[in-house]
A and B are shown apart, each in its own frame.
Chain A
């Protein structure tokens, strides 16, 4: 590894003798930079659109549009950290989406005789999709790890293969409408509502504060230095404010009156005078939060995660330390396949049908999200939250430009330029901090 790789953001805190106010907070500078970039983008678009960008409605839409790419981007972090690449994620999403669509509209009906609308359909379809995704991913990992075919080639081939397996599976037809329960994972058709969103907020705040407190206690227990109490409090307050602000925004997006009327009519009731309801936290976003949480724990607290980062940092050292790097590759790509299937649930549920071109070019969006989020292609460095923020930044740019009325070709040109610029800034940042 070269010295440019010296700053792993989540592992590194330079121990300086004199500590300023800012240093005491021990904040992750890269995370701050990305959040800063995101806020800047949001504010610029908000002023360009006359305040339409930061409405609860647009924030809601932005989050549900980000979920599919963000889920896959968390898996791509592991792939890129181990110096591999996966170009087949968009096609894998299409194949798993096709399998799930066929399962719930035809195969399960024919084989098990389940009627359309059966409550088990969605769950069996999802289980089937996840199994297929994991299996294909593991197969890719086996080709790469055990047969030592470069990941670039395996997944470039996979891009063609799985795109067309999806096509063959559905005969190129659009399959829909999908099961109602299944559609709950799409975003707008499945939200927690006001009450449960706040319940989630309270649980999240509690969990975040507990995690912070127990980390501090562990450090103290071993007699390691901890940051001053006021700094701990300030960081905690920021986290709490972010969670509450996010939920407050989402619960401010009210369900339009005509939608409510239709819902009540469907149940044979009449909409009461003055009745309102808010969407709140979408189930798909909840799913993303869960994925982020689990993947972060895997990355930081499990041996699997440690081996992934060690292998990325120095494959020979990992091998000499007794790590089975071949099996590790299989596991990483199996996780990637699983996450592609999970993204396929969200993506097809959001459309309410499976279409032949679902997930097209997603591999590029997913890789870009991971890279903008600070994952180094040279391996060994990357964070889960970075990849999710990267996905959010890309989606904000894309939909912000669409709202402003930028022509489609320019939208893509800007996103491409931002990708290159983000990597350049990252290289400069690493050189500076690595030198000091």
Chain B
């Protein structure tokens, strides 16, 4: 791949108290590519990605977007770089309805400066109609929605605003088989549109299926490097997660 990477995370480190949650990790991401991030709970995957989404400030290292150094100190900065994140917790305000959550922080307003509720609901109905045609509860707070419906609201929020870089933190953890299929199809479609996607997941089979490349983290460190998914078996990936050693003969 000779083109410029969409995202370069170079030598990122972050520590909480005495714990090195992320320890000199480098990962890159190209347009139209899905990079999987694997590892046990607490391996540092989510923490690494939160440096990119602006939720955490890294202690050292640099982030480059399209080859240029990026300063991301809060979630607003990340959004300005068209980085959208679907958090594991979904990060929805449960007391608000779907439209309010979708546009949270980016509300549509009328000329008077007041929020344009009608326009926001209409847009929400449009995007939800594409993602989840059965969704009808537009005036209920999201706490009244099922796990899958909540997930689709969170996904709608990430894809509505023309994301270039999408971060998905275990997007299928709370979903049934059918909804998982839906997310997989969506990832394929977004890939075709040229988005770069970081997919954090536990499931090596899913990573094998959905991702182009994968990186495994253990105790805050990258195990080997970023590997091409085609070059490794699920057993290799499992070995990397459990033993923390790259399989022999795989170019890191």
Query: What count of chain B residues pass the 8 Å CB interface test?
Result: 39
Task: Tell yes or no: A262 within 8 A of B by CB.
Answer: no
Number of interface residues of A (CB under 8 A): 40
Chain A 270-287 residues near chain B, CB threshold 8 A: none
Q: How far is the CA of A6 from the CA of B93 in the complex (A)?
A: 11
Tell me the complex Cα distance, A160–B105, Å. Answer: 37
Instruction: Indicate with 1 or 0, residue by residue over A309-329, a CB within 8 angstroms of chain B CB atoms.
Output: 111111011111111000000
A222 at the interface (CB under 8 A from B): yes
Query: Does B19 reach chain A (CB closer than 8 Å)?
Result: no
Contact with B along A13-34 (1 / 0, CB 8 A): 1110000000000000000000
B233 at the interface (CB under 8 A from A): no
What string of 1s and 0s marks CB contacts (under 8 Å) between B98-125 and chain A?
0011001111010001110111011000
- A11 cross-chain contacts in B, Cβ below 8 A: 95-97, 100, 139, 141
Q: What are the residues of chain B within 8 A of A14 when measuring CB–CB? A: 140
Which residues of B44-69 have CB atoms within 8 Å of chain A's CB atoms?
53, 55
A sample of 6 cross-chain residue pairs with beta-carbon separation below 8 angstroms, ordered by A number, consists of A1-B94, A301-B115, A302-B115, A319-B55, A322-B79, A380-B93
B143 in contact (CB, < 8 A)? yes
Q: How far is the CB of B166 from chain A (nearest CB, A)?
A: 15
Interface residues of B (CB under 8 A from A): 53, 55, 74-76, 79, 85, 87, 89-97, 100-101, 104-107, 109, 113-115, 117-119, 121-122, 136-137, 139-141, 143-144
Q: Which residue of B lies closest to A381 (CB)?
A: B95
In the complex, the 7 A-B pairs of residues with the closest C-beta atoms, listed nearest first? A313-B95, A313-B93, A321-B105, A380-B95, A322-B76, A317-B91, A310-B93
Residues in A with CB closer than 8 Å to B91 are 314, 316-317, 320-321
Report A-chain residues with C-beta under 8 Å of the C-beta of B79. 322
CB nearest to B110 among chain A residues: A301
The interface residues of chain A lying within 8 Å CB-to-CB of B94 are 1, 5-6, 313-314, 380
Nearest residue, chain A, Cβ from B53: A320
Note all chain A residues with C-beta closer than 8 A to B76: 322
Closest partner residue, chain B, to A380 (CB atom): B95
Q: How far is the CA of A317 from the CA of B144 in the complex (A)?
A: 17
Could you tell me if B93 and A309 are in contact, using CB atoms closer than 8 angstroms?
yes
In the complex, what's the smallest C-beta–C-beta distance from B99 to chain A, in angstroms? Answer: 10
Q: Mark A334-354, 1 if CB is under 8 A from B, else 0.
A: 000000000000000000000
